[in-house]
Amino acid sequence: MIPLRDTEPSQNYPIANHAIIGVNILVYLIWLAGADSSRFMYYYGLVPARYTVSHVAAYFTLGQQLFAFITFMFLHGGFWHILSNMWFLYIFGSKIEDRLGPLRYLLFYLLCGAFSGIFYLIMNLRSNTPIVGASGAIAGVIGAYLILHPGAKILTLIPIIIIPVFLEIPAFIFIGVWLLFQLTNALESSAHVSNIAWWAHIGGFIFGIILLKFFNSFPDIGVTQTLRKATTRKKTHRLQIIRPTSLASDPHLYGEIRVSAYEAFTGAQKMVNIPWGFYNRMLRVTIPPGIGEKRKLRLKGQGKMMPDGVKGDLLLDVIIADK
């Protein structure tokens, strides 16, 4: 299952989440540029034996030992590793930052990662294999998302052989399946050697829920309020889900597309997913500059196919979301 986006709108631009993604990519490029891979990973990754085996721990200072609990979450072992992690962070992280604000979200993310590392260390006390990756921190983000938006829908791509199938899956089901996958693999890794830190994912998920409760108990003040004002979104999400309606005898479909006042003035390009029966269509929609509230956009030939062979249109009412 590949998540494409969720249905929960963000009110603010996720500057901290994007910064975290940027740092991860930068560190990956530095690693690709020629660092000694095994030495680099052992020094900056998280190695349980460095903390539990005395003759190994002797080679590291206290600062180096503590530093590894931060650095390990910014390292990745390959292209697909970092791509999948950053994509999940992009999908889910913005909503947690939207609730907490940039500074609290950054601290929340780092603590989730650090706690996920501690949890993994406890479950693998004498392992001499370094673990790397943002998965534990991202698992904390996913845990927080489950608490904040359990009823949200996740637009999900499920590739069946060569046919892409798009489904809207409730967040609690999507995350439940994800969590079951983590638990199953974590239990299997206890009996077999695994190069994936499944227990770090479980630990991060648990601590994400706990930390969200803690951070949510503090109101927005000072810098957080200032940053919220500065990062207010001028645009709605580029990918939108439209659930059309229609009468039985009417070949046309009717729906709504949401834009900001800024986009209504300047124009915009949107991608829309249209679930209709057993089919899902992805269409590109152009919002012309200067469009007004409740103006209709007509997408010719995107309506229903009637028994007489006539195909209707898709008519979209333009809704200015922040008007």
pLDDT score at 197: 81
Q: Looking at the predicted structure, is the pLDDT value of residue 278 above 60?
A: no
- Rounded to two decimals, the pTM is 0.81
Q: Return the CA Rg of the chain.
A: 23
The identity of residue 273, as a single letter, is N
CA dihedral 253, 299, 156, 143 (to 10 degrees): -90
pLDDT score at 50: 92
Q: Do 104 and 224 form a contact (C-beta atoms < 8 A)?
A: yes
- Asked whether the domain spanning 239-320 has the same topology as the one spanning 2-230, the reply is no
Helix, strand or coil for residue 156?
strand
Going from N- to C-terminal start, the domains of the chain cover: 2-230, 239-320
pLDDT score at 230: 76
213: number of Cβ within 10 Å? 10
pLDDT score at 38: 78
- For the chain, the average pLDDT equals 87
What does the alpha-carbon distance between residue 80 and residue 84 come to, in Å, rounded to a whole number? 6
Choose the weakest-confidence range: 25-34, 81-90, 230-239, 288-297. 230-239
Q: Looking at the predicted structure, is the pLDDT value of residue 218 above 80?
A: no
- Architecture of domain 239-320 in CATH? Sandwich (2.60)
Residues 6 or more apart whose Cβ sits within 8 Å of residue 17 = 89, 90, 93, 94, 97, 105
Phi-psi region of 222 (alpha: psi -120 to 50; beta: other; left: phi over 0): left
184: number of Cβ within 10 Å? 11
What does the alpha-carbon distance between residue 226 and residue 35 come to, in Å, rounded to a whole number? 40
Q: Which CATH superfamily is domain 2-230 in?
A: Rhomboid-like (1.20.1540.10)
In the chain, % helix, strand, coil (3-state, to 5) comes to: 50, 20, 30
